[in-house]
A and B are shown apart, each in its own frame.
Chain A
């Protein structure tokens, strides 16, 4: 079927796939960091993303800040909110039943959605790009994603705090034995993870309109991506995110828009049957 598509359309599918993929990469990497370090399943991750989009929207409307620059402000605001929510909510129930984490994060979805609905109403909003050309927007989106992911990579691989995050995600007991304050690391990871989500939210609101409820499906997709890529594997989140964007883009063109959300989950089910540890995950011994 794909062969019947003309080259310009094929390029369009690929480009669109990459753009959406960039958003998934940012969203999934943040989720992966939180899950990797804290082993917490945060279903409200999508709402942090949308909140980031709304903050950038307000900054561009009321302050007149360039939306691409507002990303960095919304990252900080949402990151700080993430730290507070980790302290007040997740920290209190860490190590208790998984069901508590699940219900807490599901509850957070509604608290955040309703708060956003009160602050920004339910009408869809779109961040107007300062540029005339859509192509320029796409290039900037890819560029910003690369910039932020490179920064994230350097932070995780090269810095002292990144080493503490990796150590905590690999073995909490050993990390504590060696003088790492794992509670601080939890807090920082949650803040950084939600900040990455906020970036994804701003980029999303630039390419398509958002409502307070637009985060639910992307969060589920981010879970699919990190399961596909292998839980806790940073490379898996990047390749999984881009791959998911491309597959979705192809599916929408070939099968129609109704299949947009289903196709990824079908792939997830297939991958789990064939390779339960994910594409880049390792078999647990």
Chain B
């Protein structure tokens, strides 16, 4: 039996007015990979993530998840199939506690059909998994700092029980130590069997953690390969990083 890839994009194009944000993007993601999506500002990285989790509808092209066409589905439908993620600006329910925030993911995600009490228990487990401090679980999210909020956001995504996790700049706003911890956490998430597609602007993080990297520039895919291959790719160096690739090392 040939197993289809977890996610397949075929000739995906999306424009906003006259501006083409992504053009003819093709790629596949296999199970249990960590794939990095990089490119300069405005390259179309976040747009692509938003197309995958269905916040944006593509103009043309198709997207398949576990072999099933998801090109016409809505965000809550793909969430229930097992695609979840975080956004660049941490999204949370400010007037709910951390545990209530995460419990929403358990109640409405892929698991569904759980009681509120069970959902809260599961939410506490997920918060512990992302090493969220035990004594802040009942704190309203609007009173948390950015590092705590990032953990809650990650826990919210994990609580939906995803197969594919889309991470959009999860280390933004974090200090060096918090950033390192976030990377450890991403490794731990992969170990638990979840596939990850991450957008990240810090190349060092991408190099250290990703199995494969896809490079976008002006909405087009210009390279794909292992981090080493991408770093040495002529097209990447020329059109994205300038003449010198020192900044990658």
Q: Which residues of A are interface residues toward B (Cβ below 8 A)?
A: 158-160, 163-164, 166-167, 170-171, 173-183
Contacts and interface: CB of A to CB of B under 8 A. Distances in A.
Nearest to A184: B76
Contact of A171 (B74, B79, B93): B93
Contacts of B110: 179
Contact of B53 (A159, A163, A170, A177): A177
Contacts of B107: 160, 163-164
Given A160-B116, A163-B104, A176 B75 contact: yes
A236 to B, nearest CB: 13
B55 A180 contact: no
A166 B156 CA distance: 16
Interface of B: 53, 55, 74-76, 79-80, 84-85, 87, 91-96, 100, 103-105, 107-110, 112, 116, 156-157, 159-160
Given A158-B116, A166-B96, A173 B76 contact: no
Contacts of B108: 164, 178-180
A164 B112 CA distance: 13
19 contacts: A160-B107, A164-B107, A166-B95, A167-B104, A170-B94, A170-B96, A173-B87, A174-B91, A176-B74, A176-B76, A177-B91, A177-B156, A177-B157, A178-B84, A178-B108, A178-B157, A179-B108, A180-B76, A182-B76
Contacts of A163: 100, 103-104, 107, 116
Contacts of B112: 179
Contact of A167 (B79, B87, B93, B160): B93
Nearest to B78: A179
Given A163-B116, A174-B156, A179-B80, 17 more contacts: A159-B116, A160-B107, A163-B100, A163-B103, A163-B107, A173-B87, A174-B91, A174-B93, A176-B74, A176-B75, A176-B79, A177-B87, A177-B91, A178-B104, A178-B160, A179-B105, A179-B110
A173 B55 contact: yes
Given A158-B116, A160-B116, A173-B55, A180 B92 contact: no
B211 to A, nearest CB: 25
Given A176-B55, A178-B156, A167 B109 contact: no
A177 B109 CA distance: 9
A170 B93 contact: yes
Contacts of B95: 166, 170
A149 B74 CA distance: 34
A178 B126 CA distance: 14
Contacts of A181: 74, 76
B55 A166 contact: no
A166 B74 CA distance: 20
Given A177-B75, A177-B84, A179-B109, A171 B94 contact: yes
Contacts of B85: 177
Nearest to A181: B76
Contacts of B109: 178-179
A207 B75 CA distance: 47
Contacts of B103: 163
A87 B94 CA distance: 28
A163 B31 CA distance: 33
B84 to A, nearest CB: 7
A177 B76 CA distance: 6
Nearest to A174: B91
B93 A179 contact: no
A167 B84 contact: no
A158 B117 CA distance: 10
A134 to B, nearest CB: 41
